[in-house]
Structure 1
Amino acid sequence: MKYLVTSIKGGVGKSSIALNLAAHSGSQYITNDITTSAIEEVIQIPINKKRIPAELTKLENTVFDLGALSSLLDPKIAHAASFCDVVIIPTRTDPRSIAATIKTHQLIKDAGKPIVIIINHFKDNKKHDAARSQLLNALGKVPILAIRETTLFDRVSGDGIEWFLNIQNVKGLYMLQRTAEAHSVVYDRITAIGRRGQ
């Protein structure tokens, strides 16, 4: 399975979701971000490349974490969308993030791939529900999943993928274990949507 995680807005949790999804699915994590967290096996695509290198397009299990350039798509994003099985657009609940999510969806939908939106890093259910309603009104029927605010992303960035994969064996982290299970449900749904779209 090939996943593309993207947005034209920074700060929506794109890299965190991409990294956790890569760990969950046993996929190679590939990014165009010039600043990466403490991950051992990152493949970084040089910022000056306009396309994904051919050898990376042939890898079977990949998560592409690709940010945009201002309000335009980096050409690598359009290229990745052409061969990835599913596109994930993370968003926060604030108006700027919602507007950027709608714009990202408009820019990427012509690739004809399934698109999943994740409302990310929220505490307030009312804000989540309002954001979901706005997105459905603007985009029509689109899968919208949710990941509540959590410190899990910070722990994975600091402690690495192996820690995430073995969290169930760590004593005293009951809430993070439950959060990891909730994330797994979201990632499994994304994979199922991608498979249906193949």
Structure 2
Amino acid sequence: MKSDGFPQWFARVTPQEEVGLLPLGSRPAKRGLSVNSLDDLRAIPWVFAWTQARINLTAWFGLGSALAGVGDLELLRTAYREWPLFATMIDNIEMSLAKTDTRIARRYLALGDRDDLAELVLNELELTKEWVLKVTDKDRVLANLRVLGRAVQLRSPYVDALSLLQLRALRALRAGDLPADEVATQQRLLLLTLNGVAAGVQNTG
């Protein structure tokens, strides 16, 4: 994805900056003090931040355009049936799509004040869902994985509540006008939600 200001936008619409405050990992979340380019990011925090925003962009972005570019649905379905590597990739992306939440994702993306980038991400998300369902010949994600699908469905309301708390903390911190004691309070709330969302979606980086 190439677009002016994308790295800075990413840092605003996800809790990427705050991931570095978590007491885990052997290396800092980014190279340097701020995110000025994608080269400043480390892979695991990059994935973790998109997961926290309930977007999971790193799992699926570009696949919808690629499948639509092929266009031959029967060919793609044959590949899904007969090529284990392709089938595994599609199945893994389907699981990631099941853990996305467009309603929650829109709220995170709105933090960046870049409608062009937000719509680019959301349009590709919808295109990817459309084509994954076409290729797998399903009417909804995880339709043939009842246990996993039910588990995701049961956890979602609890994760949603944590995401909304995280969004409130992010908005407060991004505003930049909090007294020091309130900054500490909001950071603590945000870190608690980071752990909670990671446990709920069962994905980190």
Question: What TM-score, normalized to structure 2?
Answer: 0.35
- Name the structure where strand makes up a greater proportion of residues: 1
Which one has the largest radius of gyration? Answer: 2
